[in-house]
Structures are given as structure tokens and as C-alpha cells.
Structure 1
Amino acid sequence: MKFEIVQSEYGPIKGVHKESALGTNYVSFQSIPYMKAPIGKLRFRDAEPMDKWSTPFDASFEATTYYALNFVNGECEGKEDSGVLNIFTKSVKPKKLYPVMIWIHGGGFIHGSSTTEIYGPDYFLQKDVVFVSINYRLGAIGFLSLNDKTLGVPGNGGLKDQLFAIKWIKRNIHNFGGDSNNITLFGESAGAASCHYLSISEQSKGLFQRIILMSGTSLCKTWAFMPRFLCQKFSDKLARKLGWKGKIGDERDLLEYLENASAVDIVVATKSLLNADESFGLGMISPFVPVVEPYESENCLISKDPVELVKTAWSNEIDILFTGNSFEGVIRSDNNDERAIAHLNKYPAFFLPLLELNLSRDDPKAQELGQKIKSLYFSKHQEMTKDSRESYLRFSSELLFWNGIYRAIQSRVKYARANTFLMRFDAVGEFNMVKDLKNCSEYQGAAHGDDLFYLFKNIVFDIPEKSSKESNVIEKMIGMFTSFAINGNPNCEEISPVKFRNVDDENVMKCVEISENGVSELLLPDLEKLKVWASLYHENENFFNSKL
């Protein structure tokens, strides 16, 4: 086994030479700590710098996640000290520094990690890029938000971890062969929403040069944003669940209790905090996600509603590639039981993004608008049944993902001075694992998360045969993503003669679509439905003057 030692600002780091599953030689540096262990009084607070070390840090092993529930078995696993990043490079001393691609994993802000079991760098390392992935705090530990300024827990700790890691990378990546002036930030789902939040915050100005947002933006507010007025409700509810007997509203006592509670207990208790209205109705995934911070501070990341921040964001000056999957809503197939169906039939207002519109489920206006959206997917007066599952999941695609993607692109059309590209992923093959797990293989389209298996080597699938459809899709995906990272342009030999064009008209929104049969340029499917969704908010955006 051959090792490689490089210097960092905190001390020497020892990596190991490896060979990818595709035969590419590279150097792997894993589990590099970028922040002090967030334990005790640091559990909910902003990231702090590591102490320096003198002997080489062993970066030859895989990191664990922060404490989180396993996607498959539902068990809590991980540890509380996992603020680490991973760097994979073909050479620490290339003739010319490589462009850098920083990956932020998804998981609804409550699951996931940067593990190579899911996010192996093998496909990316065929190209001349440095691939970096990071861990960040999740759930209540990463996103608890308290109003009392003296407590120093305004929220968005998980996002601030990401920012802290990106700054570390910016300062040190040249030692690993990476170009600190050519960084692309990319992520999927909550990872994409995270990237978007970072790109509209002044705190990250100039730290990266372009972004790829896969199936998520900060405007996917159903699951990626928590209104300010709900923060105390969920923090109190969590503490009560754990046995806290203090006075509601006493944030100092609550914080002290949560600082001393078991991290595992916090994760497990969070799972059962959402009621039927919040999960089945509003579509929430977690009660602890990004928020508008209650006061300005040195590290304030989100100072206003993201709808306002996108208008003047510094990232309007850099290129963005948006991607979305053709059947995102499959992720919600578990809501097809009798209880969820009855709930939605009883309250048609739940066909709306109610919190964004500042409406309640019983408001006559909400009932009216809910029926308007419902009619896009169901025939008049038709109620949901198990047999109408596909229509419900198509609706969920727009509610949870495409509505937010479309509105973010709308904002770019209006305010950005750089290029905006759009890709729709519609490939179906053996690698569509999410679709299979959700028992939705009979439906056309790619489920939320299916695209990941065409970008990353993982423990589930072997490298496909070179002549297979799966291999062909991987080649095109990696070609587009790395071309965008290297040149700022997703157009590449792998998809030629089809070309991406800058999206400059929200009414004629063209995209490049990749399927198992090839690549094409087309008008975004369901564009007319998305226009109806957008009409809910009104042109003057009065609905956004809501309770934050």
C-alpha cells in the first residue's frame, strides 16, 4: 500500500493511493476533520476551527455519518463527531491544477452522509477534476433555532458546517492538486437546497464559481424551509418528548436540557414529532430544516426569506445548472395508505403549499385554490383512491420539487446576468433503485434519487457493461457535469449534437432531457401545470409577506 502525505493549515495529512473500479489511479484522503467536535456546549452552535496537529493525520479510512436514522432499517447510527470531508485526486502535484467539485449529500436534512458506499468518486475521476464530499450536522442538532440572542443558537448550523468546510477547501485544496479559483458546488435534494441557500447568502460570496442543483432549491419550501413561527413549537415538542419538564418558552432551560440529552435519543424522538397534517398534508419531512435566523449575527447565513434573497443574490452573476427527475414524486409513494388518502380527500387545501401561501387547511380560499390544483391531476370531483396512486405521485412531483425548481429558474430569468441551464433526467434502467424500492417500476420516468446511481459508484451496483444503456447514461451525465465544472458549459462531446441553451424565457422553458435512449432538447414537460402553480403566488408576491 502506497501512502501520500500533504500539508494543510492544521497539519500533515496522510492519504492512500488507490485504483478506481474503472482502472484510474488516484489518491484518497478521507475523514479529514474540518471543525472542532460539536459536543457539549458546542452541540447546537456554529462550527469552530480544529486544533492543529503535528503528526500526519491518517486519512485512509471511511468516515461515519453524524447520528441519523438509516434509510433502510430505520435504526439510529453514526456518531456526534463527524465534521469531516473527503478529497479524491488523480495527483497532488498535477502540471495544471484541477477544477474542484464539492458534493453536498441529500437526505431531507435528517439522513445521509458522504460515504463512498453511496457516493463513490470512480466515474468522476475519469476526468481531470478533484472530487470533494463533506458531512454536516443533521436534524435538530444541525437545525435547532432559538430566538434568544444570548444563547447563540440562531439556527442553520448544518448549513454553516457546509460553509465552514468550503472555506477550508478554498484555503487548502491547492495542496491536493485542486484549483481554488475554479470550484463547482453541487448537491442533490437537501444537498441541492443547501447549495442554493449558500449561493444566495452573502457569507459565501466568491467561494465558488458555479453550481449544479439536482432536484432541489431553497424555494422547495414544503420541505426545505421552516417558517419562523413554528420553530419554538417544534423545539418545545422535542424537549417534552425527551422528558423536559420546564416552562414552555424558557429557551435557556430547554437548551441546557437538550445539550445534556443523548444524541441518539434526540434523533429517535425527532422521527415522531410531525403529525398527520404536517407530514401527509403539508409534506414536511423534518421539523428541523433551514430557517430565517431570528437576529443578525456575525455568521448569519439566512437573513431573509429566500424568495427575497434570490433577487439580489451574488450568485446571479455565476452560471447554474438545474436538474430534475421526470417522476420525482415517487419518493412519496409511502403516503398511499388509507390514512393518507382519507386525509387528503377530507382537506383539498393540502394540495397547496399552505405555509408559503399563509393559509390554513380550513380557509375557504385554500379550499378553492386546492381544488384548482387538484383538478390538474384528477378529473372533476374525483377523490383519491389507491387506484389513483400515479396521479397523486405526479402531483407530488410538482408540489415537492418542480414547483420550487421552476420558481428558482423564473427568478434567474428575471434577475440573473449569467447563464441558466436546465436538464431533465428521464432515464430508466437497472440503476433506478429508488423507483424499484418504492414499488413503482410500472410507471414511466425516473424517481427522486434515481439519477445518483448514474453519477456515483456504489455498493449496490457493479460497473455496467460498456455497451449497456446504463453505461451510456453514465457517460453522458459525467460528461455534462464535468464539462460544466471545467469549462462552465455543460455542452460536451458526450451529448453532441444536442446542446444546452441559456434559459431566458420562463414561458418557453427549454431543457436537455437524458433518457435511456439518448439525449434530446425539448420544451419542459408539464410547463403549463407549473405556470398554474406559479400563479398561486401572484406576480407581486404578496403571499410572501408571511409570518417568518
Structure 2
Amino acid sequence: MSDLICIVEQGPIRGQIERDMDGDPFLSFLGIPYAKPPLGKLRFKPPQPAEKWQGIHDGTKEGNPCYSLQVDFRGKLPKFRLKGSENCLVLNVFTHQLFKSGTENLCPVMVFVHGGAFMTGSCSRTTFGPENLMTQDIVLVLMNYRLGALGFLSIDDSSLQATGNAGLKDQVLALKWVQKNIKQFCGDPSNVTLFGQSSGSASVHYLVLSPLTKGLFHKAIMQSGTATCPWARGSNNLVEIARSSGCNRKNKREILECLQKIKVKRLIKAQNKKFARISGPGAQAHFGPCVEVRNPSAVITQEPMVIINSGNYNHVPLMFGYTSLEGILNTWGTRCQVKKKLRDLLPYSFNYDKKSAKFRELNQKVVQFYFGNDKPDPRKKEIVAQLFTDVTFLRGIFQAVKGHVKTCQKPVYLYRMSIESELNAFKKIFKYESKGVCHGDDVCYIFKTEHTKYSAKSYEDRSIRRFVKLWTNFAKTGNPIPSNNDELLTTYWYPASEKYLYFLDIGEELIADVDPPDMNRLRFWEELSKGIKEKYSHTR
């Protein structure tokens, strides 16, 4: 293993040999810096490319997670702990062979963006083990990016170069690193698929819409999140975080300079004072992507739906999907917490004063639709989960899908995940016993996680292989089911269209159909929002 060396632009990296789920070998290179550590005056600003290193970089150990509240799923209930480092902008690369002069067999590249509400998470092997995907001839890349205030604080003054979306700009720089270096790992830079889950999925959608990423990827998969979901937009927290951290200065430049100097732990504690507040299913994120003031490094400067409707984005094959009951995630917590959330059931984009008669009228219509004549009751977990599924996830996902179907010049695929097995780890973690697939359960089929176990040739094993085939087929060809010659993929999956919203239900079997069953509920939201000029957020 000592001679397993790959040379990239910044220098040589030592890797190691690992085994996939079938016991076959693949190569791994971990913790590769793709950017300078964003410390001091680089805090909150666009990332800078990594510098060359001396000697051989040790790629047999994972890098630091980005400093944040990291979720610990061990124990009876998930817990949050401060963990990580600002020196965290690294990526992991997994491949089957290294490039040698004369090698022409370059493989499709899949670049994954992890989720975590833009506040937590990393590309750690504990959740995103490559063993499942590496059964296929692909090259896999996973990245870290800045989170919370460090990644998504925004100042609407372009001269300060901290206009927001630093975490998304990290992802853009990682994609540029892939373009420059992935051939050394036998990856094809002209066939890159960007995919992500939850806030990672919304990140992918933002990058589809961004002019910064033209030519950096060629297909995109979005699992349970889009830029049009309410939680995928951050609020303007500069004044509040400045006050909470002791940086309440006269002007924005002085605030920025102060925030760049304070200890990171102090900054994150100030951030978490707001993050801990309870909010409803349609609430805006405290820290997340924003529409930036115009500047050369801006990810987007217009509202996502404006960009989608204009058709002025990256036209690549797109795959959108969701789990059948995403909102199981939101039933977690004390009854008191859920009850408080149920007081505000409207998307924040409706932009009504919560004390107004119109807010009360619309909110009551939602209560009536989901709870009938009863009051919102947190003990009715099935109804709570359905409500959060629709407002928090599905409404935004379907807005994006319907928009892209009208304007995208490439195929747009839609899926619904309904499969339930021993691999549905997050449903178990949140102790939800009724039927439905929780937000995050799809990750356990695509990646090896510490939360799941299964035996060879089991139902779970077959389900993993089906997911892996669908995802890697799309990466290879732009079509998740390119033929009917595979015994795992026995149906044809039509792209969605304006006339027919074709989708694939990924359950015990694959069922292709028109109009997902969830559309019946989403039509209620379409009717409710008629005549409302929605505010997605400030242009900052």
C-alpha cells in the first residue's frame, strides 16, 4: 500500500486499498484539501484554491468535519455536539484504478453533497461509506463545505466580498478541483454527475441554477430538497449575530472585521441562540443560501423560480425525488415542541403578519384540511408527518419539477421512494411505527452507514443493488433505466412532461405511473396560494 500514490495539482497523495460490498477491491484517497483553510480574513469569503504541499499527503485518514453542531445518533434520541474545525475544506475520492499514460478507459464521476440543514453534517464514512456505489465502474467524490454562519452569513455590500453562500462557493471550487484533477483517478471530467440529499440536494439545485457552474457537471440528482423549499433559504442575520457575539459595531465593515477575529466557538454559540428557536413547517432557515447582491462571485442574483421560468440555467438531465413521508423527521421532539410548531402552518413566503386576519383565515384552512374539525394535535403523528411532508418538502419540490419540465431542454425524471425495510434507519431513530419512509432513509440504500446491517442475498441487499443501478445508470447515460435487460430494473421510466407528470415509485417493486398520489394534497396548496404574490426572501 505504501506505493499507492496519486499525483494531483497540489502534490502527491498516498491512498489505500479497500473492499466494496461484494468484497472486491477499490482505491480510496481521503481528506484531500481542495481549498485554503478559510481562517482569519478568509472567514465568510469565497474559498481560495489549495496551495501545493510538501512531501506526500496522507490520504488514508479522513479530514476534519467543518465546525458546527454535529448530530450524534447514538443513544435513545439524536443529540447535537459542537465539533470540527475551520480547516475542513477537503474531499474524498474513491476509484478502481489510477491514470497511466495511454489509459483511455475513463469512468463517469459522481460528486456527492451531504445534507444537514446547512447547519451540520460532513462527508464522513460513518454515514456515507462508498462500498455500495463502488460495485459499479464509477469514480466517487464526497466533499465538506462550510456550514451555519461560517458558510452562509451574508452582508449586502459587494465591496466586503462576504455576500453570502460561502458554503455553495466551496462546492463550486470542489467541482473545479474535480475538473482539473479527476483524470488522475481515471475519472472522466466530461461526464460528471452532481448529486445530494436534503440540504445537499437543495445545494445541487442552486448549482444547477448558477452561472458559476457552467461546464462543471453534466447531470444532477436531487434527493429530497430543492432551492424552492422554504428551509432552503437563509434569513438576514447579520445584526442579530453581531449583537449576540459581542460584535455590535458602527458599520458592516467593522462588524465583519470583528466577526473574523473572534473565536469560532463564540461565533457558533451566537449562531445557535437563534437556531434553537422553534418554528413551523414552512419556516425560513436561519442560516442558508441567499439571493446575493450582484458581484463576480455570486451564486445566484435572482429568485430561483424566476431563473427556472426564464430557462437561463444549466440544461443537463435532471432527476428529482422524495420519500413517501419526509415529515417523520419533524415528529421528533417533545409534544410541547411539536404543538408550538403547529401554530404556524403557512409557508413563510406567503408573507402575512401572523397577527392578521388573513393569516388566521389561511392557517385555519390548513388545519381544516389536515385535522378536520379537530384542533392540531401533536399526538396525531401520522397527520403531523403528512403536513410537514407537504409544506416543508413536497410543495417546493413540485414547484421546481413543474417549472423545469416547462423550460429544461434535457429530460427531467421524478421518483417517489416508498420502500420500507430494515435499512430505513432514520424512521427507526425517530421511533415512528406507522407506514411511511422518513427523510434520509434513501441515504441508507445508496451508501453504507453505521446505522444499518443486512445479510447477503436478502431483500435489503437486492434493494441496495437496485438503487445503485438506478443512480449509476443515470450517471453513465443520463437515463436511469436505459434498457429492460436488467432483472433489477423491469419497467420503463418516462421523463416527466407538462402534460403528464410521469414518475417512478421505488417500492418493493418499481412501478411507473402518472401523477404521484401526493398530488391530491398538493392541489389543495395550489388552490390556497392562488392570488398570493409569494415572497421567497429579500434580495440581499
TM category (shorter chain) comes to: over 0.9
Equivalent residue, structure 2, for 1:448:
439
Equivalent residue, structure 2, for 1:353:
347
Whole-angstrom distance in 2 between the partners of 1:495 and 1:505:
29
Equivalent residue, structure 1, for 2:76:
none
Structural mapping, 1:487-526, within 5 Å = 487-491=477-481, 493-505=486-498, 508-515=500-507, 517-522=508-513, 523-526=515-518
Pair 1:174–1:336, CA change in 2 (3 A) = same
Letter in 2 for 1:398: D
Q: Does 1:532 align with 2:516?
A: no
Whole-angstrom distance in 1 between the partners of 2:426 and 2:537:
35
Counterpart contact for 1:76–1:268, Cα < 8 Å: no
Quote how far apart the aligned CAs of 1:112 are.
Answer: 0.3
SS of the residue 1:283 aligns to:
coil
Pair 1:536–1:303, CA change in 2 (3 A) = farther
SS of the residue 1:407 aligns to:
helix
1:203 to 207, 212, 217: 212
Counterpart contact for 1:358–1:547, Cα < 8 Å: no
Counterpart contact for 1:513–1:521, Cα < 8 Å: yes
1:91 to 50, 72, 97: 97
Pair 1:316–1:410, CA change in 2 (3 A) = farther
Whole-angstrom distance in 2 between the partners of 1:95 and 1:23:
26
Pair 1:60–1:13, CA change in 2 (3 A) = same
Letter in 2 for 1:128: D
Quote how far apart the aligned CAs of 1:336 are.
Answer: 5.4
Structural mapping, 1:95-106, within 5 Å = 95-106=104-115
Quote how far apart the aligned CAs of 1:360 are.
Answer: 2.1
Pair 1:466–1:459, CA change in 2 (3 A) = same
Q: Does 1:434 align with 2:426?
A: yes
Quote how far apart the aligned CAs of 1:21 are.
Answer: 4.1
Equivalent residue, structure 2, for 1:298:
296
Whole-angstrom distance in 1 between the partners of 2:480 and 2:82:
39
Equivalent residue, structure 2, for 1:478:
468
Quote how far apart the aligned CAs of 1:446 are.
Answer: 0.7
Q: Does 1:224 align with 2:232?
A: yes
Letter in 2 for 1:177: C
SS of the residue 1:75 aligns to:
strand
Counterpart contact for 1:483–1:491, Cα < 8 Å: yes
Counterpart contact for 2:245–2:270, Cα < 8 Å: yes
Counterpart contact for 1:65–1:78, Cα < 8 Å: yes
Equivalent residue, structure 1, for 2:239:
236
Counterpart contact for 2:281–2:391, Cα < 8 Å: no
Deviations 1:303-357 (A, max 9, x none): 111111122345563111111000100111135522541563xx4xx22112x12
Pair 1:197–1:545, CA change in 2 (3 A) = closer
Whole-angstrom distance in 2 between the partners of 1:3 and 1:104:
30
Counterpart contact for 1:238–1:270, Cα < 8 Å: yes
SS of the residue 2:534 aligns to:
helix
Whole-angstrom distance in 1 between the partners of 2:267 and 2:226:
27
Counterpart contact for 2:279–2:341, Cα < 8 Å: no
Equivalent residue, structure 1, for 2:396:
404
1:461 to 452, 456, 461: 452
Provide the TM-score with structure 1 as the length reference: 0.91
Q: Does 1:82 align with 2:88?
A: yes
How many residues were matched structurally? 526
Pair 1:351–1:138, CA change in 2 (3 A) = same
Equivalent residue, structure 2, for 1:191:
200
Pair 1:415–1:474, CA change in 2 (3 A) = same
Provide the TM-score with structure 2 as the length reference: 0.93
Whole-angstrom distance in 2 between the partners of 1:475 and 1:43:
42
Equivalent residue, structure 1, for 2:286:
287
Letter in 2 for 1:187: G
* Structure 1, gaps ≥5 residues long: none
What percentage of residue pairs aligned between the two structures are identical? 32
* Structure 2, gaps ≥5 residues long: 73-78
Whole-angstrom distance in 1 between the partners of 2:375 and 2:536:
33
1:308 to 306, 327, 331: 306
